[in-house]
Chain A
């Protein structure tokens, strides 16, 4: 009997939280008329040269599952910031639909939109966007005070989140008295204090140096284990994308060129652009055993490896034994096998 490991992995039933449909954004005075040109196949460079309009987003269709981290990648100017700002409508679409829990964000009136931003989304910015004239505790309770939550209550909530991100003792400091990493923790606490179900993070860690950046990524993953927010995370760093993303979407010139699981992006890049993005990555380190194993339940003699381990971590065992290894899941059930052949093919492709 064949075991399908994907069903073991996904215990919960997935539900689409954010659905983006046929979304176009064009910057310029005659944006509406230009959409027709774009639909007829005019690309970003031509639109700029011929019509002096900037193509921000070109027919984006994207479903984001509840409680997952959707990473969006792309070169500078590819439309990442434009896309994320459509979720809370900081940017108005030229055409298209953004559904959050089946509610069309683009149709909200002024007050509904304010309410939506106050309750449903939280945002973290690349350069933090903290209020320099307010201390940390006031910064963290920004969303709550805008909503009109009572001071005593919002103070308590702010303290809770300041503690969560490890900034106790800094409540009454001002942003410019904190390091970059600490400031972004404030930014994160500010977004979380509002208890939104969607977190929007636009290059949230890009301004931080590598060690602190890695710390922040770990902290985000740690928080996400319990919080289970739906997160859209923008980055142009592939390592960060692979570490954080449940799904990775890649934008090029306003077009969505690929969206898939990290291993799909690595193993089957959709075009040259994506290939260039992923070519320098150490696949053995990023890919897990399960993504290249041969599924079966027969089992083999000798040592076993866990399907969620990275390929790199089981390289010594494979090289030692030069034979086929059994692959087990977390419950120690046999789910497949892996041999030096599969490993070699992955490494060669690098």
Chain B
């Protein structure tokens, strides 16, 4: 009796070994069987990613910087941020990190597009039905709390090492905020405004596109901002499974104790993060302009 309380009644060692072996074996068989097919599904994404990366890396660097600065200026309307970004890009190039930076920008860009493309429809679905919400919500919790290394394992088993599994890992890690904030933004829409749309005979689609999405847009934008930040944070981890970019030199620096190399690449990631963050935030704020008077 005393023994029962002092040591946990564990599964037998042999049993546990068998359990792990069986699950691993089943999954291995599954990935051997369907791995190629699943990889094929991601082919278009891969092509697009490779193409985008090539465009950024092979275009003349002054042209790329010019395009970036234009986007930054029209996104943020801030001349200081634009000048700061210019300095950052020049330093990045001068210290020999231009190519890696372009790789990182392209994977962040593609991941953000995929997250928006999947996340907003899922968020809309969630906001429309409490059942969908109660099903999606725990999945999001798992995605956000599960240590990212853990889900890298099945992804790598299934798809091997390379760009696509890296992309998948980043999207899984970065998509929850945009789903949650789309859902929240739509649920938060003023009930009287929605009732007005109903009273004038708007159907579901009209309500979604004329009222719910436009009014949720600032909140959705906050979600996009968070998604970009999380994707950037994932860059180093994703480089462990073969994603090119600023993460790889960081890994190399850790392994070989190259302090300066690690610091420079780390600072480049920080610079990108700040630029993405400020631009998307001030763009989101501008979307909010006419919202202030709606709840007096």
Write the residues of chain A forming the contact surface with B, with a CB cutoff of 8 angstroms. 88, 90, 114-119, 121-123, 125-133, 142-143, 146-147, 174-177, 180, 190, 194, 200
Query: What distance in Å separates the Cβ of A139 from its nearest Cβ neighbour in chain B?
Result: 9
Of the stretches B46-54, B144-152, B189-197, the one at the interface is B189-197
Selected A-B contacts with CB under 8 Å, 10 pairs = A88-B199, A90-B195, A131-B193, A132-B193, A132-B291, A133-B290, A142-B200, A143-B201, A147-B201, A174-B290
CB contact list, B246-296 vs A, under 8 A: 290-294, 296
Bound-state CA distance A142–B210 (Å) is 10
Q: Which residues of B contact A127 (CB under 8 A)?
A: 192
Which bucket holds chain B's interface residue count?
Answer: 20 to 34
Bound-state CA distance A221–B44 (Å) is 65
A117 touches B200 (CB 8 A): yes
Query: What distance in Å separates the Cβ of A220 from its nearest Cβ neighbour in chain B?
Result: 18
Q: Which residues of B contact A131 (CB under 8 A)?
A: 193, 196, 210-211
Query: What distance in Å separates the Cβ of B203 from its nearest Cβ neighbour in chain A?
Result: 6
Among B192, B199, B201, B214, contact of A133 (Cβ-Cβ < 8 Å): B214
B206 touches A146 (CB 8 A): yes
A121 touches B293 (CB 8 A): no
B196 touches A132 (CB 8 A): no
A176: nearest chain-B partner, CB-CB: B293
Among A118, A132, A133, A177, contact of B200 (Cβ-Cβ < 8 Å): A118
Q: Which residues of A contact B120 (CB under 8 A)?
A: none
Query: What distance in Å separates the Cβ of A184 from its nearest Cβ neighbour in chain B?
Result: 13
Starting from the known contacts A129-B193, A142-B196, A176-B291, 18 additional A-B residue pairs (CB-CB under 8 Å) come to A114-B201, A115-B201, A117-B198, A117-B199, A117-B201, A118-B200, A123-B200, A130-B193, A130-B294, A131-B211, A132-B190, A142-B200, A143-B200, A146-B201, A174-B293, A177-B293, A180-B296, A190-B200
Among B198, B202, B215, contact of A132 (Cβ-Cβ < 8 Å): B215
Bound-state CA distance A119–B211 (Å) is 20
Query: What distance in Å separates the Cβ of A142 from its nearest Cβ neighbour in chain B?
Result: 5
B215: nearest chain-A partner, CB-CB: A133
Contact A176 to B200, CB < 8 A, known contacts A127-B192, A133-B214: no
CB contact list, B167-211 vs A, under 8 A: 190, 192-193, 195-203, 206, 210-211
Query: What distance in Å separates the Cβ of A31 from its nearest Cβ neighbour in chain B?
Result: 19
B291 touches A133 (CB 8 A): yes
B289: nearest chain-A partner, CB-CB: A174
Contact A123 to B201, CB < 8 A, known contacts A174-B290, A176-B294: no
A132: nearest chain-B partner, CB-CB: B294
Among B192, B206, B211, B292, contact of A176 (Cβ-Cβ < 8 Å): B292
Bound-state CA distance A132–B195 (Å) is 14
Q: Which residues of A contact B292 (CB under 8 A)?
A: 176
B199 touches A132 (CB 8 A): no
Q: Which residues of B contact A190 (CB under 8 A)?
A: 200
B200 touches A125 (CB 8 A): no
Contact A194 to B200, CB < 8 A, known contacts A125-B192, A132-B215: yes
B200: nearest chain-A partner, CB-CB: A143
Query: What distance in Å separates the Cβ of A98 from its nearest Cβ neighbour in chain B?
Result: 15
Bound-state CA distance A310–B292 (Å) is 46
A132 touches B293 (CB 8 A): yes
Bound-state CA distance A180–B296 (Å) is 9
Bound-state CA distance A118–B199 (Å) is 8
Q: Which residues of A contact B291 (CB under 8 A)?
A: 132-133, 176
B293 touches A175 (CB 8 A): yes
Bound-state CA distance A147–B214 (Å) is 20
Bound-state CA distance A180–B293 (Å) is 10
Bound-state CA distance A155–B102 (Å) is 48
A144: nearest chain-B partner, CB-CB: B200
Bound-state CA distance A146–B203 (Å) is 8
B201 touches A125 (CB 8 A): no
Q: Which residues of A contact B202 (CB under 8 A)?
A: 114, 146
Bound-state CA distance A147–B197 (Å) is 12
A177: nearest chain-B partner, CB-CB: B293
A119: nearest chain-B partner, CB-CB: B201
Q: Which residues of A contact B206 (CB under 8 A)?
A: 146
Query: What distance in Å separates the Cβ of A325 from its nearest Cβ neighbour in chain B?
Result: 49
Contact A123 to B196, CB < 8 A, known contacts A114-B201, A132-B215, A147-B201: yes
A123 touches B199 (CB 8 A): yes
Bound-state CA distance A142–B196 (Å) is 9
A90 touches B201 (CB 8 A): no
Query: What distance in Å separates the Cβ of A204 from its nearest Cβ neighbour in chain B?
Result: 12
A129: nearest chain-B partner, CB-CB: B196
Query: What distance in Å separates the Cβ of B36 from its nearest Cβ neighbour in chain A?
Result: 46
Bound-state CA distance A23–B196 (Å) is 24
Most buried by B among A118, A129, A180: A129
Bound-state CA distance A131–B214 (Å) is 10
Q: Which residues of B contact A116 (CB under 8 A)?
A: 201
B195 touches A129 (CB 8 A): yes
Query: What distance in Å separates the Cβ of B54 from its nearest Cβ neighbour in chain A?
Result: 39
Bound-state CA distance A126–B199 (Å) is 14
Query: What distance in Å separates the Cβ of A43 from its nearest Cβ neighbour in chain B?
Result: 29
Query: What distance in Å separates the Cβ of A209 from its nearest Cβ neighbour in chain B?
Result: 13
Query: What distance in Å separates the Cβ of B188 from its nearest Cβ neighbour in chain A?
Result: 13
Q: Which residues of B contact A146 (CB under 8 A)?
A: 197, 200-202, 206
Q: Which residues of A contact B196 (CB under 8 A)?
A: 123, 125, 129-131, 142
Among A90, A114, A133, contact of B203 (Cβ-Cβ < 8 Å): A114
